[in-house]
Structures are given as C-alpha cells and as structure tokens.
Chain A
Amino acid sequence: MSAAPASFYRRTADALADARLRGAVGRVTASVRRSRQAALDRLPDADAWRDHARQLRAHTIAHLDRYLDELTSAIEARGGHVFYAPTAEDAIAYVTDLARSRHLKTAVKSKSMISEEIDLNARLEAAGVRVVETDLGEYVVQLAADHPSHIVMPIIHKTRGEVADLFRAKAGATDADLADVASMTQFARRTLRPEFLRADLGVSGVNFGVASTGTLCICTNEGNGRLVTTLPRVHVAMMGIERLVPTPEDLTVMLQILGRSATGQNLTVYTNLINGPRPDDESDGPSELHVVLVDNGRSRVLGSELAEILYCIRCGACLNACPVYQEIGGHAYGSVYPGPFGSVLTPALRGLEAFHDLPHASSLCGACRDACPVRIDIPRMLLALRADDAKAHHAPWWIAAGLRVFRWVAVNPRRFQTAGRLTAKLMHATSRNGWIRWLPPPLSGWTSTRDFPVMAVESFQERWARRSKLPEQKPS
C-alpha cells in the first residue's frame, strides 16, 4: 500500500467533479447489484447459507492459530513450502530471494489484492523479474501505470475508449484489434498467451486455504488463474493469514455465496483447487509451490474490536451497495482496499493516523452490512473508528466545540426549548418561501450545494401541549 495522499476531501471533490467517472461507476455498480440480487433469489435458503457462512468465518478467525498450523502441515505433506511473513517486507524478501535463487526471469500474475497491498510488483521488478499482470483489468491497470479502483472490477473507472487508446499506444494494437470489446479481449488473449507459455514464475492470490487438506482455492473467470498456476515451473501463492476455512465441505459453503455476491454468478467460471506441486506421475503443473502467509498487521486486528473485518471474503458487494462508493469510485479512498470494508480494514492494518478520514466516508446507512454475504457489521466498526479518531483529536476544533455547546443545550429541557424557539425565529427572519439560501461558514458547506428548510415555528412539544388541552375525541 502506498501512503495515504494528503487529503481525502480533495480527492473526493475531484471525483465528484468527474461526471464521466460517476456515470461509469454508478451504472456498473447498479447493474452488479441487480445481478447479485437475482443470483441470491435463485438460491434456495440463501439467507441460511449466509448465516452458516458467517458462523464458519467467526469460528475460523477465533481458532486461526490452530487452522494456520493445520494448513501448514497439510501443504508441507504434499510437498509445498509455507512461509509465514509477519510484515510486508518479510513477504517481499521471501519472494524476491526465491526468484534470485531459482533464476526466475518472468512472472505472470493473476489478480491478487494482497500483492497490491504489499506492492509486490515494483519490488519484483527491482529485483530483475519482469512482471506481467494477466487478468484483463489488471493488465490494463499495469499498462496505464494506474491502480485498481474496485477489488473485483479493477477498471470500473475506465471507458472502452481509454482502454483502446492504451492498447494502441502501449501494446501495438491496430484498429481491427479495437473494433469492439470482443476484439479487444481477443487481442489481450493473443498478446498474453506467449507470456504464459514462457514465464517461469506464476504469482497468484488465494480465495480460501482449506486447513484440513492444504488445498488452495483460487477463483477466476478468465482462466488466467489456471494458466498462472499450471504453466510456470514455480508457483507462489500469496494469501492473507485470515483466508482459511476448516474443511472442503466448509469451502463449498463459502463458494455458494462468493460468486453470487461478487458478480451474480452461481460460481466463478474456474473454481480451481490446488493440492501441492505437480507429483511425478502428472504431466503438467508447477514443480514447486510456495505459499506465503501474509500477516502485515492482521494479527494485531485479531484481538481488537475490529476483528470482525477479518471475516471478509473480498466479494466487493459492499462497494457496489455503498452510496458513497457509487459517487466517488475507488481511487478517492487512497487505499488498496476501497469502499466500506476498506474504510475499516485500511485503518485497522495501517493505523488510524494516516487514514483517519476513511471511517467518515459513510452515511452509516447500513447498505454494506445488508449486502455482506457474511453479514459483517461494518457500520459498528466505522463508528468505533470514528470514536477513536475523535479521542485522537483529528476532528476540526469547531466540531468538538459545537458538540460541547449542543450537549450543554440538549441536556436541559428548558434550554433546549428556548434554543429551538430562538433558532426557528432566526430562520424565519432570514428565509425566503420557507427555505434558507445562504449560511455563513462553516454551515455554508450545506448551502453551497442545496437550500436548507426552515424549522416549524411551533415545536412538537408546544403542539402536543395545545392538543392535549382539546376535548378528548371519542372513538367512532
């Protein structure tokens, strides 16, 4: 993860001013929301599957030490290597040392958010390994020297025309290659196929590690995940330490909801299970398998009030559901993990100091919690982080001062009524046709983009008092 850029508000303002970006993100997230709902409607007992999946995640996280130990034994029994990386640097050093000692020159990669988190590509390149992203979206991101803006749909922020321009400028595509999306896809297939055939290192992420069997489950739709884990002679699988399930049967529970929540598919096209490196009697597959268990702050989260965020299975449903994400897209968050879950995970992993704005990037409407396949209570944790932030005095002074005044007024009924009456009078004096058009700073934050409605002259309490004096009505 790169450091948080200076101002979240600055980035948000830029994103909001970009009509094209808002249009693209709004359209696609709306479409994926519909697909997700349709997919869950098709699944009998969908809510019960989700409840069970949540219990499995909670159980696994509560016993993570045990399941990591089991996973390690099972992978090693199949001839794979396992490395526990306490920090991003440890993970990077392991992979770059491996590339050096095995003389690996070209790496093909399938989509892996954890490698984005630790910025693995740049470090591998610095160690002399050519890195080629092979997921179509990630390939475009790499050509553009950009960052993914969604964890499932990395180039949700790019138009077809922008991708075509990149393919022409950076990959030598002709007009015929760029005639339509299907031609562009075939162009990517032709361009990347030789890379797969020649690469000596395959780097993938992991959706789930199965503790009892050492199985790695990698879900992709394009097939690049299979090529990356089949053709190169060394396969390195990068996974967060929390991405475990106890047994193969438990894995099938998670798979019932992962694809449906992510893209509205019943299952991803290739649900790929890897059981160690190629045995002698099999004809294809890597001869070495290395699994890197990346901690990088996760164990610190385990015992905290934010531990629930480790239940996350990275489906992206909370991004698509979030009214804030829909408006600003992923880049404005300034983190590898955007959207509601990212606003909890990023401060949890990297500290609130640099990312204290993120927990405020939410209206607390709860759409993320409703969409989450494992029902993570994201709003609860956003509030906990806001409280921590307030304690650390990151809020502007006038918010704290304002709240102190409000508390002084609100704790006393007489003060509250008087203040209400005065405010209503003041509002009426300054309004036109029931609306206030202009307020002084800092309240101008509201009126710069919309009008403010005036308060009723008569308060609810006054009306109630008047009403109770009326003769009682008889029920008809």
Chain B
Amino acid sequence: MTPDARAAMRAAIAAAIGRGTFPDAVADHPGAFSWSPLAAGDRAARFRAELEALGGTCHDMPEPNADAVVALLDRLMAGRGPRRVLVWDEALLPVAGLPTALVRAGISIDTVTPGDMDSIERREELASATIGRTGADAALAETGSIVLASGPGRARLASLLPPIHVALVERHRLVDSLAALIRVRPDLATAGANVVCITGPSRTADIEHTLSRGVHGPGEVHVVFVG
C-alpha cells in the first residue's frame, strides 16, 4: 500500500470512529483469558476420545520403530491406490530409518520440492499418492487436533492431497488446547508461511446435513504417538 493510500485508510476509519489520529498505546485491551486447565493425566485419553469421535484414529508406538510404521502404511494403503507416499523430510520425523524400510516394502516415496508448483504434470503426480506422511509440531487434547507448520522439507500438500494422512508425533508434544499452546509458544502461530491446525478428517454436511468424510482433504487421519 502506498503511504498515501494508507494515510487515507487510517483517516477514513478514524473519522468514522470519531477521533483524530490513533493513540500510541492501546489502553483498554481486555488482556488474557484465564481458563481451568485439564487434569494432567487426562490428556492422552482425551485426545484419543476427541479424535475418534471425529472419525480419526489414534495409534501408540512406545518405541520408535520404522518397520511398524511401514507395516501400518502398508495395511492402510491396501486396495486404496498406488503404493506411493508423499512425505515430509525424514530428518524432521521422530522415527529413524523410514526411507530404507519403505523401499524394502516396495513403497515409493515422493516429496514436494521448490519448483514443483510450476508444473501441472508434477502437481498431478503429487496428487496421485495414496498416503501423506508428516510429523506435527503439537497435538491438542481438548479437540483431538494436530498442528503442522510449513517449512523447508515440510510440504503443506503432504497433509492435504492424499486420501489418507498419517502424522507421527512425539508424545511430549501433546498439550491441553490451542489456547494453551499459543500462550506458551506464541511464535508457533507464525512458524511457517502456513500453520494449520487439523481436527479430524475432512468433512462436509452441506447436503441435507448428512455427514460425509474426505471431500477435499484426507478422509482418513491417523495420529501415531511416538514415545
């Protein structure tokens, strides 16, 4: 916006509010809201209950185990489409050795790289993956949600294009709620050009208020807690 345009906007709004130039400090901000926290022991059970109520699935993996992850992917993609996963950079995931285990199982791996957005053929190829496999920056017990920030090696499309989304999350990333998360980690809201809070599978109830899953995003969401 040019300085002139901005000055015009400010003047128009200030005149409408009925005062001159705006003050330096905002005096009457209502401040922070204080809520009652969840009981500490309830988080894992609450997360599972909330996600399952939405039609998502919660898995526990006490020890990181690449073969167990691949066995899960293998089972999920059976009969669902090409044996291809669209993934985040392995270095960002809490389970080591996944690429080798995937190749051993005959599952091909695809990643989004800068420049891919310029080609329609490449986009279509990316959209052909059956599973998107990502990490997550946080999990929210109150709503059964996972929070994913975009970044290098952390493509948005991995949690968006394939019909099945599998997210691997370290257990210590489980917190009470979105409000609790942002209060402790306000930086997370701007950690990437895109930060998404995903609460269950894609859904719609537009037609006769009948619930239907997987309309544009993944119809299946699996959250694997590691550790």
Cβ-based interface call for B215 (8 A): yes
Are A283 and B112 also in contact (CB < 8 A) when A155-B206, A192-B216, A221-B204 are?
yes
17 A–B contacts from the bound complex (CB under 8 Å)? A56-B30, A65-B17, A140-B206, A153-B205, A184-B207, A185-B212, A192-B216, A197-B120, A223-B216, A248-B189, A249-B186, A267-B143, A267-B178, A269-B202, A273-B189, A280-B114, A287-B117
In the complex, are the beta carbons of B199 and A275 less than 8 A apart?
no
In the complex, are the beta carbons of A303 and B18 less than 8 A apart?
yes
Cβ-based interface call for A415 (8 A): no
Scan B1-41; emit 1 where CB is below 8 A from any A CB, else 0.
10001101110111111100011001011101101100000
Are A48 and B26 also in contact (CB < 8 A) when A64-B13, A84-B9, A230-B156 are?
no
In the complex, are the beta carbons of A198 and B120 less than 8 A apart?
yes
Cβ-based interface call for A5 (8 A): no
Scan B201-218; emit 1 where CB is below 8 A from any A CB, else 0.
111111111101111111
In the complex, are the beta carbons of A185 and B215 less than 8 A apart?
yes
Distance, CA A342 to CA B217, complexed state (A): 31
Distance, CA A317 to CA B100, complexed state (A): 51
Distance, CA A256 to CA B142, complexed state (A): 10
Contacts of B14 in A (CB 8 A): 65
**Distance between A410 CB and nearest chain B CB, rounded to angstroms:** 38
In the complex, are the beta carbons of A270 and B193 less than 8 A apart?
no
Cβ-based interface call for A373 (8 A): no
Interface size class of A (residues with CB under 8 A): 35 or more
The residue from B183, B196, B201, B205 contacting A226, defined by CB atoms under 8 A apart: B196
**Distance between B120 CB and nearest chain A CB, rounded to angstroms:** 6
In the complex, are the beta carbons of B13 and A68 less than 8 A apart?
yes
In the complex, are the beta carbons of A282 and B114 less than 8 A apart?
yes
The residue from B179, B194, B208 contacting A159, defined by CB atoms under 8 A apart: B208
In the complex, are the beta carbons of A185 and B204 less than 8 A apart?
yes
In the complex, are the beta carbons of B217 and A269 less than 8 A apart?
yes
Are A256 and B179 also in contact (CB < 8 A) when A86-B12, A181-B208 are?
yes
In the complex, are the beta carbons of B196 and A270 less than 8 A apart?
yes
In the complex, are the beta carbons of B26 and A223 less than 8 A apart?
no
Instruction: A65-B9, A230-B160 given; name 16 further pairs at CB < 8 Å.
Output: A24-B208, A68-B10, A68-B13, A153-B205, A156-B209, A160-B210, A185-B204, A185-B213, A221-B203, A222-B217, A223-B215, A252-B178, A266-B50, A270-B199, A283-B114, A284-B116
**Distance between A81 CB and nearest chain B CB, rounded to angstroms:** 8
Distance, CA A82 to CA B6, complexed state (A): 10
Max count, chain B CB within 10 A of own CB: residue among A32, A229, A285 = A285
The 8 closest A-B pairs by CB, nearest first: A223-B217, A137-B206, A223-B216, A65-B13, A248-B189, A55-B30, A302-B16, A252-B179
The residue from B145, B155, B156, B209 contacting A31, defined by CB atoms under 8 A apart: B209
The residue from A44, A69, A230 contacting B194, defined by CB atoms under 8 A apart: A230
**Distance between A209 CB and nearest chain B CB, rounded to angstroms:** 13
Interface size class of B (residues with CB under 8 A): 35 or more
Cβ-based interface call for A263 (8 A): yes
Are A226 and B145 also in contact (CB < 8 A) when A44-B35, A210-B189 are?
no
Max count, chain A CB within 10 A of own CB: residue among B13, B22, B112, B155 = B13
Cβ-based interface call for A132 (8 A): no
Distance, CA A249 to CA B180, complexed state (A): 9
| CB closest residue in chain A, given B118 | A233
Scan A212-242; emit 1 where CB is below 8 A from any B CB, else 0.
0101000001111011011101000000010
Are A249 and B212 also in contact (CB < 8 A) when A198-B120, A222-B203, A269-B217 are?
no
Cβ-based interface call for A45 (8 A): yes
Are A48 and B33 also in contact (CB < 8 A) when A252-B179, A263-B205 are?
yes
In the complex, are the beta carbons of A84 and B50 less than 8 A apart?
no
Cβ-based interface call for A134 (8 A): yes
Distance, CA A333 to CA B119, complexed state (A): 45
B contacts, CB < 8 Å to A: 1, 5-6, 8-10, 12-18, 22-23, 26, 28-30, 32-33, 35-36, 50, 54, 111-114, 116-117, 120, 123-124, 127, 142-145, 150-157, 160, 177-179, 182-183, 186, 189-190, 192-210, 212-218
Contacts of B206 in A (CB 8 A): 135-137, 140, 153-155
Max count, chain B CB within 10 A of own CB: residue among A84, A215, A241 = A84
A contacts, CB < 8 Å to B: 24, 27-28, 31-32, 44-45, 48-49, 52, 55-56, 59, 62-66, 68-69, 72, 76, 78, 81-84, 86, 134-137, 140, 153-156, 158-160, 163, 181-182, 184-186, 188-189, 192-194, 196-198, 210, 213, 215, 221-224, 226-227, 229-231, 233, 241, 246-249, 251-253, 255-256, 263, 265-285, 287, 293, 295, 299-300, 302-303
The residue from A197, A227, A241, A269 contacting B198, defined by CB atoms under 8 A apart: A269
The residue from A134, A213, A246, A300 contacting B29, defined by CB atoms under 8 A apart: A246
Are A213 and B190 also in contact (CB < 8 A) when A197-B124, A223-B215, A227-B216 are?
yes
**Distance between A139 CB and nearest chain B CB, rounded to angstroms:** 9
Contacts of B124 in A (CB 8 A): 194, 197
**Distance between B37 CB and nearest chain A CB, rounded to angstroms:** 10
Max count, chain A CB within 10 A of own CB: residue among B50, B207, B217 = B207
**Distance between B212 CB and nearest chain A CB, rounded to angstroms:** 4
**Distance between A376 CB and nearest chain B CB, rounded to angstroms:** 17
Max count, chain B CB within 10 A of own CB: residue among A185, A186, A253 = A185
In the complex, are the beta carbons of A276 and B193 less than 8 A apart?
yes
The residue from A84, A227, A265 contacting B160, defined by CB atoms under 8 A apart: A227
The residue from B28, B157, B200 contacting A59, defined by CB atoms under 8 A apart: B28
Distance, CA A246 to CA B189, complexed state (A): 13
| CB closest residue in chain B, given A72 | B1
Distance, CA A159 to CA B6, complexed state (A): 47
In the complex, are the beta carbons of A181 and B196 less than 8 A apart?
no
The residue from A44, A163, A226 contacting B36, defined by CB atoms under 8 A apart: A44
In the complex, are the beta carbons of B189 and A213 less than 8 A apart?
yes
Distance, CA A293 to CA B15, complexed state (A): 17
**Distance between B180 CB and nearest chain A CB, rounded to angstroms:** 9
